[in-house]
Structure 1
């Protein structure tokens, strides 16, 4: 980035603090009720964040991976509503990016501007009852027909589905081919005939990020709704998942920074046995370890972001960043509750929510086991 662009980015990041009140409005009650708050989404739209990854030429902010990581990290440190951040990242990475990068001219003309503005909300549907980590064992089928395709199958755990206007659906388009060539990605309008969005599913954390199953029964999608060419689903998914790791886990790094600040302030002010608990080595060493975890995660986040931005080989950096951040995010949430003691166990502090939210991070975007397997494979094991 040029110096002027860096200055613009710094100003933009500083300005995010002015949105903090709107982003955090009613966060505790929304979490308790599992409510996606449309007023907060409106604030994201007004701040320009719903199109931040798209190019300037199509109306986005044109941010690279490093700048996006910095902004998401800042948002994570400011915003108490982790579900809102997850919904934003899903929208940005699953749909905004894939439509601009792989969409036909007709699809871009129809949807891209409204996706960037946030008036149209996106999602993607990958997981099925019989395919989780083994994503390309999916059985949802895309059958060629006159003028388009017929989609049949069931998708589960689809983030944003209850609020989505369009969903990128991954399906098997040629069972005679394997992962590379046998699967395709389609942009599906949720108002299409025979698309059924299931009810919102209650879950452990990220409760304000709505999630449901999606049922496809002879859903017709026109030829222009194919993203990329037939058989390019692996390429599309690999592209968006790298960005998803950068954005989602940058938010988590920001949450970790906020958590550490809370713990330091608490340790400096909490008195027990006649002195500040920061003077007890058990507490001070725990906070020192938290600081090390945060700094380690910041390093791997930026290393992964730089790898993605340089368009070089980023597989190992992405895997390590995802693994390190997700596991340390959960570990520091437990550390924070230990530091706060009984008050940290109470809902109104927000730490128990942060712990619940953190658990999903070791599962989605590739489990910790999958990341370790990828790293081992890179080592030739």
Structure 2
């Protein structure tokens, strides 16, 4: 375990605080989630049994200069040293990683890891924020909220995840500051009025991709945000290929190479360098699904890479998901917008 966390030459002391056997990816075999401590750092790490041996998968490590037992005192809205009177420490609870919840995100058949992590940073001092990791990758970063006025006041961002509704909320007991976040298949997005959150729920390919042969591709999205009169979905195909309309497509336009598309960086129409599909969904209500379908012929690989983006208008302004605040790794599409990379096989 030490080798997986810090390398084979490490001699760092290691203390195991707790572990849990649970499913953390699409493979039905179980993984082990381990909470460990070494000096001023704590780590949550995952291991899978392969060929009879436990193999290291991933870790997330956090550091705290004032490592030691702390508890939150509601009466003073502060973190205090020592253990809370009458309370016993849970099996998956550390000095820095204060709380761990494992649950499924919408559309997943495996668990993600929700954590409350203690941070010490001026001028606030000691405070806690949430993090969420899916298959070892961060999908919510509570540190982005460190300037939130309620965090500055209370020194803690409490959270609640409703497993039935698949709803994540911060400050869940405070009606003035409670904020819901929804998962869009890539990361958590704040659910705010008049903003759609198209969430990728499934992808189908029929028949399977084969070089030079045509397959029908359908991407299904569910609006986990709010009603919007018009929502735009942009799918750019950076590796090319041949595309044509599906007979079941609604509101879909395909731009072939050479046709004019708008580039936001140059602020003008330019010839498309790669195929581009734009889908327009009108009157998209919360909880309703929408399918984008098209035919594709792979020319070099038996897979399809897509750069995916959502756009919507609010008054005269255009907003996009993802954007510069996104924590999921994005790529810039041919129109100059950050987009989610998706590989379909």
Tell me the TM-score range normalised by the shorter chain: under 0.3
Bigger fraction of residues in helix: 1
Q: What TM-score do you get using the length of structure 1 for normalisation? A: 0.25
Larger RCO (CA under 8 A, 6+ residues apart): 1
